[in-house]
Amino acid sequence: MKYVIGVDLGTSAVKILLVNQQGEVVHSVSKSYALIQEKTGYSEQNPEDWVAQTTSGLLELLSGFDGAAEDIEGISFSGQMHGLVLLDENNEVLRPAILWNDTRTTAECQQIYDAVGNERLLEITKNPALEGFTLPKILWVQKHEPEIFAKAKSFVLPKDYLRYRMTGKLEMEFSDAAGTLLLDISKKQWSTEICELLNIDPNLCPPLVYSHDEVGTVTAEYAAASGLAPATRVFAGGADNACGAIGSGILEDGKTLCSIGTSGVVLSYEASSDKDFGGKVHYFNHSAPDVYYTMGVTLAAGYSLTWFKETFAPDESFDDLLAEVGTVPVGSNGLLFTPYLVGERTPHADAAIRASFIGMDSSHRRKDFARAVLEGITFSLNESIEIFRESGKEIDTIVSIGGGAQNKDWLQMQADIFNAKIVRLTSEQGPGMGAAMLAAYGSGWFASLKECADAFLKEDAQYEPNPANVENYQKLFSIYQEVYGQTKAMNEKLLAFRK
Ligand SMILES: Nc1ncnc2c1ncn2[C@@H]1O[C@H](COP(=O)(O)OP(=O)(O)O)[C@@H](O)[C@H]1O
Ligand SMILES: O=C(CO)[C@@H](O)[C@H](O)COP(=O)(O)O
């Protein structure tokens, strides 16, 4: 039997899947790492932690594997998007990585609009300047840490750095490059125009490859450290949302995905780059060759739940914390939560907004708060679904993945709030499975990713919307939508009091 490995370098943890030729996950390991949040709006990680935890995860995975390391034909990656890893001339990391949920760069977004112009930026990149994207982070380092920036010879994204440490070779692939705001997404080339307008040396941008491209094999040094065989073929991999789409079979028109990880995403397949969403949703290159996807992003989706657990139930598991949410009625007995803990992206690109609980009553107990948190996250994702429906997309079935797909009450809530059938696959680990599928396709096991998806992906359960709940949630959703406008100015005044 032959195998492939999919490595999902997430924000909360690296998840490693060993997958056989039938698409079965025969072994998986997860290793977590911390976020560094020194100030409000800041979010960083140490790239060495990603490497150390992946290496230790691979060692654990291989020690529990009864085949030979040589049976593992290929490895590929899925990575948290947009995070800036700056490297010097020896490819040494110059500073901690600045992550996708770091929103310190509002001034740099304005700098981009001033230099490039809103319309031209949209023409080239198909996206607006958002704090989370990589280019504003590069400009922030250029302005605030000039001595570090002077030493920078290249930049990569999180999983590209991890892959570099395995192969000794530096590349970026199209699906992650799309989230830098430096890629001409239709031409699939770095935009020298944007680089010149912002005084960025285009040589900082690494060579571009496709997600399924073989970029080398594992170095002898990394093989010795991880237990992998040196002949293991390494494939470039993709942005976690692009890989999540592959791992959920979002490979043709009309397919929609909801992913609740640290962030939350509603994603839709696009065959071409010529649709016009006016920048309301992100528009990126897929990890399937030469196609695209659009998506709306909730910055703090699973992160809101994690925050709630760590603050109010640090010693309990997610399952224990959520055990009673099914006994609380729709609407959490009048308690409403907006998940703006670190600002928001879709539909409100706003780094200053913060979260609210509205309607707290002395009768509310922890289970009401827990349900309100789940409902608020799901309402936020529903705002992206509304944008897609308003653009004419028909959304009647949604594949749900990520940590959020582990809870049955939450899956039913998604069906009721999205008013669509929710499908859960046998593995909710879409991005890791997508990465494994890129390795399987790259290794020549299948003629296309679609063929691989047909062989590997299986439905586990379906959740149908309950009409009475749908009606109540529609009323609650319109109240939810008012909260942003009602709290925006107050949050701006509170900015001065934040850490
Ligand atoms: N049993 C569970 N039930 C519901 N949500 C969960 C559960 N376990 C984890 N989560 C949520 O899933 C999130 C992690 O999902 P994951 O897809 O692993 O994220 P990432 O890829 O960002 O590291 C956590 O933030 C948490 O809120
Ligand atoms: O910024 C985005 C997408 O634009 C995030 O979706 C990141 O890619 C992180 O993903 P998770 O760790 O939540 O999976």
Q: Domain residues of the chain, as ranges?
A: 3-241
> What is the rounded CA–CA span in Å between residue 217 and residue 57?
19
Write the DSSP assignment of 232-292 as a string of letters: -EEE--EEHHHHHHHTTT--STT-EEEEESSSEEEEEEES-S----TTSSEEEE-SSTT-E
End-to-end CA distance of the chain, in Å?
A: 54
Nearest-5° Cα angle at 152, 116 to 120 = 10
Instruction: Report how far ligand 1's centroid is from the alpha carbon of 202 (Å).
Output: 37
Give the model's pLDDT for residue 271.
96
Say if residue 499's pLDDT is above 90. Answer: no
Task: Read off the pLDDT of residues 197-206 as tens digits, 9 standing for 90 and up.
Answer: 999 999 999 9
28 alpha carbon, distance to own chain's centre = 20
Say if residue 427's pLDDT is above 90. Answer: no
Give the model's pLDDT for residue 77.
98
Give the model's pLDDT for residue 422.
98
81 is in an annotated binding site: yes
Residue type, 171: E
With cut-offs at 50, 70 and 90, classify the pLDDT of residue 282. Answer: very high
Mean of pLDDT over the chain: 97
Beta partners for residue 357, in sequence order:
337
> What is the rounded CA–CA span in Å between residue 60 and residue 28?
9
Task: Read off the pLDDT of residues 384-418 as tens digits, 9 standing for 90 and up.
Answer: 999 999 999 999 999 999 999 999 999 999 999 99
Give the model's pLDDT for residue 275.
93
Helix axes 366-390, 302-312, angle to 10 degrees: 170
Region at 300 (left for phi over 0; alpha for psi -120 to 50; beta for the rest): beta
Give the model's pLDDT for residue 147.
98
CATH class of the structural domain 3-241: alpha beta
Query: Which SS3 state, helix, strand or coil, does residue 229 take?
Result: coil
296 lines ligand 1 (CB under 6 A): no
With cut-offs at 50, 70 and 90, classify the pLDDT of residue 428. Answer: confident
Task: Read off the pLDDT of residues 440-450 as tens digits, 9 standing for 90 and up.
Answer: 999 999 999 99
CA distances to 308, 352, 367, 447 from 321, rounded to whole Å, are 10, 29, 8, 44
79 lines ligand 1 (CB under 6 A): no
Q: CB of 237 within 8 A of CB of 243?
A: yes
From 8, 184, 240, 368, active-site residue = 240
Q: Across residues 486-490, what is the average pLDDT? A: 98
With cut-offs at 50, 70 and 90, classify the pLDDT of residue 461. Answer: very high
Out of 263, 282, 342, 381, mutate this one to test ligand 2's pocket (max ligand atoms within 8 Å of CB): namely 263
* Residues with a CB atom less than 6 Å from ligand 2: 10-11, 80-82, 100, 132, 179, 240-241, 261-263, 265, 282, 297
Q: Among residues of the chain, what percentage have pLDDT more than 90?
A: 99
Return the H-helix or E-strand segment holding 60: helix 47-63
State the complex-level ipTM: 0.98
Task: Read off the pLDDT of residues 240-258 as tens digits, 9 standing for 90 and up.
Answer: 999 999 999 999 999 999 9
